[in-house]
Amino acid sequence: MKFFIDSADVEEIKSLVPTGFVDGVTTNPTLIAQSGRRFEEVIAEICALVPGPVSAEVAALDLEGMLREGRYLAKIASNVTIKVPLTIAGLKACRTLTDEGTLVNVTLCFSAAQALLAAKAGATFISPFIGRLDDVGEIGMNLIHQIVDIYKNYPNLTTQVLAASIRSPLHVIESALAGADVATLPPKTLRQLYQHPLTDKGIDIFLADWKKTGQSIG
């Protein structure tokens, strides 16, 4: 499974890149707003830090506007992935941009039917929102299972399942078990993946025992 960082905080992303866990980055208008910086500058800096896909979302809702903004953003760097909403205009834009050789992430997916259409439109990634489905009383992980199963039935569909709106390490593990290709997660959640109280306790015990030996290494 690939890990994308869901953030527009350049310094945060920079701190995580050396771990080797960062395969890409996703941003959205909310994250850009939180950064308080100019959109294009943020995307350019992230693309320079991360060689993998970096999602930049269009703001337009009409087809012409999406194509204009998508083509503009795609010029920032070769690894920019244009993010479009799962609407009929978004799917049309996806088809056109994909045919032009641009990576496309179709976002705000809440049903398997939508995911099937996105794949037929040539999406590079489909982003089902697990947490937001959980918020309204549905089981978001069921959608990941459905999409993965459907895509497996049709080898000609190359769209990757990008599990989004991840709220916890459990969401990551369940997405991996379901066969999602990518999980995009906040920096906090990525760090939670390697934290465990028994690991900390084990280190304390080993250090205490080592101290008793009076030895040093090197």
Cβ partners under 8 Å of residue 209, min gap 6 = none
- Smallest CA-to-CA distance from 19 within 49, 45, 53, 47 is with 49
- The catalytic site residues sit at 83
Q: At what angle do helices 169-178 and 140-153 cross, to 10 degrees?
A: 20
Angle at 52 between CA 48 and CA 56, to 5 degrees: 75
Question: How many residues are present in the chain?
Answer: 218
**Cβ neighbour number for residue 94 with a 10 Å cutoff:** 30
3-state secondary structure of 28: coil
